[in-house]
């Protein structure tokens, strides 16, 4: 049963509802692709597909920031054992609605990607575990872990909490990877965490749960593939999962970062949802809003907004990340932005979360 809801009006006059509900009535389409087999560098890409603008902003967070996993923006969700922490590492992230980090990279080369999962069930609240509103799940790991192994260890005593904004619940699963090429997919299904850990876990989409995605892949034989090899071509998550796995297997060794990033972007674009493509029911759409690619070795973060299609990037190693450094923000919705945008960020008076 859902807990009581709390409401407030933000500065834009909209209503934020926070509910500790255990089901989701909406879905979105996202894809994460990890290329850790090329022998040159570890690189990962993702698509963000959503029914409306998530108002994405790029933020640079220094280390030494205090965070509260029991809050969504200014709202206290009333958890009896909220997780609080001080960040050990700096990061660059993409926010959603100014309330959550949904994608990002930290200074140690750990990256995270939050994707929707309809079956998500974080289970009854266990007060013995610290509560973490799910929109800060990925940020918590970027703030505190240098590797996938360390991130998984950090999650043992933490429980994500379902929250809601603008009618969308945080029914999420998480993909993480590090500079060594290690990878993990973390899901909560039927109230229990399910962890798929290993460098072989390279592609994941939003639905269904990951074990079912792997079973679907067993139906396909990509040996001796040619252009006549049949592939699913629609935008549903299983089709995108199969296509991304197929094309990932065909890649040749890149000559360097430029080719590796371009190659990963090409796979992400192939797994993207075109504007106005029909989704689960007639009249519903979940267009690809943006794509990201991370160079885990060089700590470089690439971003491509589909309505302002220039690729921009952030060199995390060239930014001030020491405690006390300013939080920086960049609105990527600017057709004039292109290439390295380190100098385009501006300080913010108050961190968004």
| Residue 242 appears among annotated catalytic residues | no
Residue 198 class from Cβ within 10 Å (0-12 exposed, 13-18 middle, 19+ buried)? exposed
pLDDT at 145 over 50: yes
Q: What is the 3-state secondary structure (H, E, C) of 162-230?
A: CCEECCEECCEEEEEECCCCCEEEEEEECCEEEEEECCCCCEEECCCCHHHHHHHHCCCCCCCCCCCCC
pLDDT at 7 over 60: no
Q: Which helix (H) or strand (E) holds 104?
A: strand 100-106
Bridge-based pairing of strands 308-315 and 339-340 is parallel
- Tell me what percent of the residues of the chain surpass a pLDDT of 90: 86
Across the range 191-210, mean pLDDT stands at: 97
Distance, in Å, from the CA atom of 332 to the CA atom of 329, rounded to the nearest integer, reads 10
pLDDT at 279 over 60: yes
pLDDT at 283 over 90: no
The two three-digit tokens of residue 149, written as one number: 């192994």
Distance, in Å, from the CA atom of 239 to the CA atom of 337, rounded to the nearest integer, reads 33
Residue 252 class from Cβ within 10 Å (0-12 exposed, 13-18 middle, 19+ buried)? exposed
How far the first Cα of the chain sits from its last, in Å, is 28
Alpha-helical segments (H) within the chain: 137-144, 148-154, 210-217, 237-249, 257-270
Residue 75: strand pairing partners: 72
Handedness of CA 254, 255, 257, 259 (dihedral sign): negative
Q: Is 318 helix (H, G, I), strand (E, B) or coil?
A: helix
Distance, in Å, from the CA atom of 7 to the CA atom of 75, rounded to the nearest integer, reads 9
Helix 210-217 crosses helix 237-249 at what angle (to 10 degrees)?
A: 60
Tell me what pLDDT residue 9 has: 30
Tell me what pLDDT residue 243 has: 97
| Domain 29-347: CATH superfamily, name plus number | Penicillin V Acylase; Chain A (3.60.60.10)
For residue 348, count other CB atoms closer than 10 A to its CB: 14
Tell me what pLDDT residue 28 has: 55
Cis bond before residue 208 (omega within 30° of 0): yes
* Domain boundary assignment for the chain: 29-347
Higher pLDDT, 13 or 62: 62
The two three-digit tokens of residue 274, written as one number: 């075109």
Across the range 244-252, mean pLDDT stands at: 96
pLDDT at 143 over 50: yes
Across the range 96-114, mean pLDDT stands at: 97
pLDDT at 24 over 70: no
Tell me what pLDDT residue 17 has: 36
Distance, in Å, from the CA atom of 177 to the CA atom of 185, rounded to the nearest integer, reads 9
Distance, in Å, from the CA atom of 102 to the CA atom of 114, rounded to the nearest integer, reads 5
Model pLDDT for residues 164-185, shown as the tens digit of each residue: 877 778 999 999 999 999 999 9
Tell me what pLDDT residue 20 has: 30
Model pLDDT for residues 255-272, shown as the tens digit of each residue: 999 999 999 999 999 999
The two three-digit tokens of residue 1, written as one number: 């049963």
Burial 318-345, CB ≥16 within 10 A → b, else e = ebebeeebebbbbebeeeebeeebbebb
Alpha carbon 22 to chain centroid, angstroms: 21
Q: Name the DSSP letter for residue 260.
A: H
Query: Which of 18, 27, 29, 30 is the catalytic position?
Result: 30
- Mean residue pLDDT of the chain comes to 91
Distance, in Å, from the CA atom of 11 to the CA atom of 23, rounded to the nearest integer, reads 28
Q: How far, CA to CA in Å, does 101 sit from each of 132, 139, 225, 240, 333? A: 13, 6, 38, 24, 18
pLDDT at 117 over 80: yes
Q: Which helix (H) or strand (E) holds 111?
A: strand 111-116
Across the range 29-44, mean pLDDT stands at: 96
The two three-digit tokens of residue 285, written as one number: 């759409």
Model pLDDT for residues 201-232, shown as the tens digit of each residue: 999 999 999 999 999 999 999 988 899 999 99
Q: How far, CA to CA in Å, does 242 sit from each of 125, 219, 221? A: 35, 10, 11
Model pLDDT for residues 314-335, shown as the tens digit of each residue: 999 999 999 999 999 999 999 9
Tell me what pLDDT residue 199 has: 98
């Amino acid at each position: 049963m859902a807990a009581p809801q709390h409401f407030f009006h933000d500065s834009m006059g909209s209503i934020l509802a926070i509910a500790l509900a255990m089901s989701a009535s909406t879905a979105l389409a996202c894809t994460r692709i990890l290329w850790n087999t090329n022998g040159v560098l570890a690189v990962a890409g993702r698509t963000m597909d959503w029914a409306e603008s998530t108002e994405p902003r790029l933020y640079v967070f220094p280390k030494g920031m205090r965070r509260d996993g029991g809050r969504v923006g200014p709202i206290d969700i009333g958890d009896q054992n909220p997780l609080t922490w001080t960040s050990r590492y700096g990061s660059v992230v993409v926010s959603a609605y100014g309330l959550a980090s949904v994608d990002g990279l930290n200074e140690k080369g750990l990256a995270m990607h939050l994707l929707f999962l309809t079956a998500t069930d974080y289970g009854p609240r266990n007060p013995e575990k610290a509560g973490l509103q799910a929109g800060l799940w990925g940020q918590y790991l970027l703030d505190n872990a240098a590797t996938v192994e360390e991130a998984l260890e950090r999650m043992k005593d933490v429980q994500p909490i379902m929250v809601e904004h603008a009618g969308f619940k945080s029914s999420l699963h998480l993909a993480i990877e590090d500079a060594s090429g290690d990878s993990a997919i973390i899901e909560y299904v039927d109230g229990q965490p399910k962890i798929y850990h290993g460098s072989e876990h390279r592609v994941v989409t939003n639905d269904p749960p990951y074990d079912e995605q792997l079973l679907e892949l067993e139906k396909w034989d990509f040996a001796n593939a040619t252009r006549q090899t049949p592939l699913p071509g629609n935008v549903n998550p299983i089709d995108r999962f199969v296509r991304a796995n197929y094309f990932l297997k065909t890649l040749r060794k890149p000559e360097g970062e430029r080719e590796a990033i371009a190659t990963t972007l090409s796979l992400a674009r192939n797994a993207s949802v075109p504007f106005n493509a029909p989704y689960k029911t007639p009249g519903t759409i979940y267009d690809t809003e943006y794509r990201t690619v991370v160079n885990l070795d060089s700590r470089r973060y690439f971003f491509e907004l589909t309505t302002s299609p220039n690729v921009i990037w952030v060199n995390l190693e060239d930014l001030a990340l020491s405690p006390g450094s300013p939080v920086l923000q960049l609105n990527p919705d600017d057709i004039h932005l292109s290439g390295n945008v380190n100098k385009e960020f501006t300080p913010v008076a108050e961190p968004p979360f």
